[in-house]
Structure 1
Amino acid sequence: MTATKTDWIQRAAAQRPSTGLYISGGFRDARNGETFPTVSPRDGSVVAQIAAAGEQDVDDAVQSAHRAFESGIWSRTDRRHRQQVLTRLSDLILANHEELALLESTDSGHPIGDALAVDVPSCARTFRWYAEALDKVYDDVAPTPRNALAIISREPLGVIGAVVPWNYPLIISAWKVAPALAAGNSVVLKPSEQTSLSALRLAELASEAGVPDGVFNVIPGLGHVAGAALGRHPLVDKITFTGSPEVGRYFQRYASESNGKQVALELGGKSPQLVLHDVGDITACASAVAWGIFYNAGQTCHGGSRLLVDERVHDELLEEVIKVGRSLALGDPLDPATQIGTIIDDRQLESILGYYDIAESEGISIASGGTRIRPAGLENGYYLEPTVLDRVNNAGRIGQEEIFGPVLAVSTFRGAAEGVRLANESRYGLAASVWTQDLTRAHTAARELRAGTVWVNTFDVADIITPFGGFKESGFGRDRSLHALDAYSALKTTWINLGDAPLDED
């Protein structure tokens, strides 16, 4: 029987999530006993008090991961064994999908329908995909002279520190943890302090699947304490981080101040949807534009937050986009009918609302939305209408800064060349799209757009099979695809001198 809104509310009230640090295969309190609250954006209530990792706790987790790596219990095991364990983990994620979805929805404000249909299945698929890839990745043989043999092999790096954001906790954790474990590394995961619950449950399931103690550790905590300690730790061989450019630069600094560890960064975006005059299906385009920015209440790093539209189709397209935005069901994340959930917390909500003042100072009109919503019984939650800001100066703050909310900035141009120029006039380069019926124009624009992903006549179509990351200040390194396996591996060359003598006769 399909669960109703009442069912999910009752389940949320009854849940008792794990809240400790997960180190060496078990939960424990922080050494200093400190905790922090995790607050549900649904209604502003405290869901639980989470153990707050301090520097000593981070050291405990890293030392545990390092010992496990050096022991070879995971790093040197047959890849087929790792394949079996990660496949079991994928199965366990699906077997516990309702529990994980509820944790994700309660903690992050994702609609429960999305958590069930997208977040949890995507997490499971990621672990299964990397498990299945393990016996399909080959080492290489270099084209040496006849008297030598050079083998290029992949070995695990060591201890991976993964720091993930609050907008897609399970999905982004899986993007980093799955390939790192598949390659044979140990992992210390630092989830966002706003959304730690699903990561802690994931760690339990990993142990149940057979990941050895110490190989996968989860240390909730505050960024300036736990995140900084992880970034500086000399036994961490690589940091992979998704978040803001400002914090990303901290991790670059931490690496230089410690052991020069590798750093991979995905740092957000201001992604343009470039709509040319020959767009064709305005209705389809409008739906993709609206969903591209309003999905997850606009809290998506590659969200299509800039609509750059040829002035010849501006009015018609804008009318359709507004129509779609107003049709989306905004409300209680625990209601299966909800399509747009909450902003993550009060600080982020106030940050978004502050941009409306900036819009007014820049002479920008609010074409639609722009109001905080207080649903009955959920007045303390963080709900915000999908918002469309029209006639935005692409060079102004609204056109350039990552608002990270359900706010679409609309600017006009005339002609594809000007549109591409405006699209590229950004510090970011994570994603972009181009809408046109002209095949040559589509290829040319896609080639000229400076972004890690370019969609043509669609937006936000994604799969684990393709790499994800950006250009410019959107960072460097790639999550997803086989490229991520290489990112968590070290290439080793073994050069063998075969000599020049002929084979001896027996």
Structure 2
Amino acid sequence: MQAWKLGPTLVTGNVVVMKVAEQTPLTSFYVANFMKEAGFPPGVINIVPGFGPTAGAAIASHEDVDKVAFTGSTEVGHFIQVAAGSNNLKRVTLELGRKRPNIIMMDADMDWAVEQATLPCSSTKKEEIFGPVMQILKFKTIEEVVGRVNNSKYGLAVAAFTKDLDKVNYLSQALQAGTLCVNCYGVVGAQSPLAATRCQSVTEN
């Protein structure tokens, strides 16, 4: 996640003030030390430890910050958007909510689907839970599963496992999600927009 934020920012000639999660600051300091050794000038990469209501709020509301990119909860995203809008109207990119349904059709390669879809998944039906929790629901029709997936305020990403191209095309139009991964999970290149469809091993009937 740190590399995902740092890379595009630095290659476009910007400096970074990164407020890292208070639960895991040490890995960020470790990466920053490597970047210092690589020769980045002082002040280009700034790692700020601290809590959201203090350190995070200061960044979101600071007049000299032109852009805020945040990954985390929807609740905090609301605070950031308000803070950014009430000052210098800075640009904001928010990646909020971790609802990532995995739709596994009967014709899918089950071993591959289990390997790709269930291990990294942590989601419940409608609540955002940051932990190793998974809910498995059966469905009879593709319309039924689309209705379930869309019946949530979260729409970050969905994965679908099937060998049927018609089903893929239907899901890509019917699902309300920023990203649809097909027969894989989380395989989106850094250069791709968030709304991307990736397909692998899908054949027409």
Which TM-score band (shorter chain)?
0.7 to 0.9
User: Counterpart of 1:419?
Assistant: 145
Measured in 2, the distance between the counterparts of 1:195 and 1:239 equals 20
Measured in 2, the distance between the counterparts of 1:226 and 1:286 equals 40
Give the Å deviation of 1:218. Answer: 1.3
Give the Å deviation of 1:246. Answer: 0.4
Residue by residue over 1:349-379, the C-alpha shift from the partner in whole angstroms, topping out at 9 and shown as x without a partner, is xxxxxxxxxxxxxxxxxxxxxxxxxxxxxxx
Secondary structure of the 2:138 match is strand
Q: Is the 8 A contact 1:270 1:402 kept in 2?
A: yes
1:253 to 78, 82, 106: 82
Q: Is the 8 A contact 1:234 1:259 kept in 2?
A: yes
Measured in 2, the distance between the counterparts of 1:185 and 1:411 equals 45
Runs of 4+ in structure 1 deviating by more than 3 angstroms, as ranges, are: 467-470
1:274 to 77, 85, 103: 103
Matches within 5 A, 1:157-306: 172-277=1-106, 279-293=107-121, 298=122, 305=123
Q: Is the 8 A contact 2:109 2:162 kept in 1?
A: no
When the two structures are superposed, what TM-score results if normalisation uses the length of structure 1?
Answer: 0.37
Count of residue pairs brought into register by the alignment: 196
Q: Is the 8 A contact 2:22 2:50 kept in 1?
A: yes
- C-alpha change, 1:197 and 1:416, in structure 2 (3 Å) is same
Secondary structure of the 1:409 match is coil
Residue by residue over 1:440-471, the C-alpha shift from the partner in whole angstroms, topping out at 9 and shown as x without a partner, is 1222212221212212222233443433479x
User: Counterpart of 1:400?
Assistant: 126
Secondary structure of the 2:134 match is strand
- C-alpha change, 1:421 and 1:178, in structure 2 (3 Å) is same
Matches within 5 A, 1:355-366: none
Residue by residue over 1:358-409, the C-alpha shift from the partner in whole angstroms, topping out at 9 and shown as x without a partner, is xxxxxxxxxxxxxxxxxxxxxxxxxxxxxxxxxxxxxxxx410012221111
Q: Is the 8 A contact 1:266 1:469 kept in 2?
A: no
Q: With a CA cutoff of 8 Å and minimum separation of 6, indicate the structure with the bigger relative contact order.
A: 1
| Structure 2 residue 161 is matched with structure 1 residue 442 | no
Secondary structure of the 1:242 match is strand
Measured in 1, the distance between the counterparts of 2:144 and 2:39 equals 55
User: Which letter does structure 1 place at the counterpart of 2:179?
Assistant: T
- C-alpha change, 1:211 and 1:451, in structure 2 (3 Å) is same
Matches within 5 A, 1:114-129: none
User: Counterpart of 2:201?
Assistant: none
Measured in 2, the distance between the counterparts of 1:180 and 1:399 equals 35
Measured in 1, the distance between the counterparts of 2:195 and 2:133 equals 22
- C-alpha change, 1:285 and 1:436, in structure 2 (3 Å) is same
Give the Å deviation of 1:290. Answer: 2.2
Give the Å deviation of 1:247. Answer: 0.5
User: Which letter does structure 2 place at the counterpart of 1:180?
Assistant: T
User: Which letter does structure 1 place at the counterpart of 2:48?
Assistant: I
Matches within 5 A, 1:314-329: none
- C-alpha change, 1:435 and 1:236, in structure 2 (3 Å) is same
Measured in 1, the distance between the counterparts of 2:167 and 2:60 equals 44
The structure with more radius of gyration:
1
Q: Is the 8 A contact 1:190 1:226 kept in 2?
A: yes
Secondary structure of the 1:410 match is coil
Measured in 1, the distance between the counterparts of 2:44 and 2:183 equals 43
Q: Is the 8 A contact 1:274 1:423 kept in 2?
A: no
Q: Is the 8 A contact 2:68 2:90 kept in 1?
A: yes
Q: Give ranges in structure 1 of 5+ residues lacking alignment.
A: 1-171, 299-304, 306-397, 471-506
When the two structures are superposed, what TM-score results if normalisation uses the length of structure 2?
Answer: 0.87
Q: Is the 8 A contact 1:232 1:254 kept in 2?
A: yes
Relative to total residues, which structure has the larger helix share, 1 or 2?
1
Residue by residue over 1:49-74, the C-alpha shift from the partner in whole angstroms, topping out at 9 and shown as x without a partner, is xxxxxxxxxxxxxxxxxxxxxxxxxx
Q: Is the 8 A contact 1:446 1:456 kept in 2?
A: no
2:180 to 454, 461, 475: 454
Q: Is the 8 A contact 1:452 1:468 kept in 2?
A: yes
User: Which letter does structure 1 place at the counterpart of 2:118?
Assistant: A
Q: Is the 8 A contact 2:10 2:16 kept in 1?
A: yes
Residue by residue over 1:315-340, the C-alpha shift from the partner in whole angstroms, topping out at 9 and shown as x without a partner, is xxxxxxxxxxxxxxxxxxxxxxxxxx
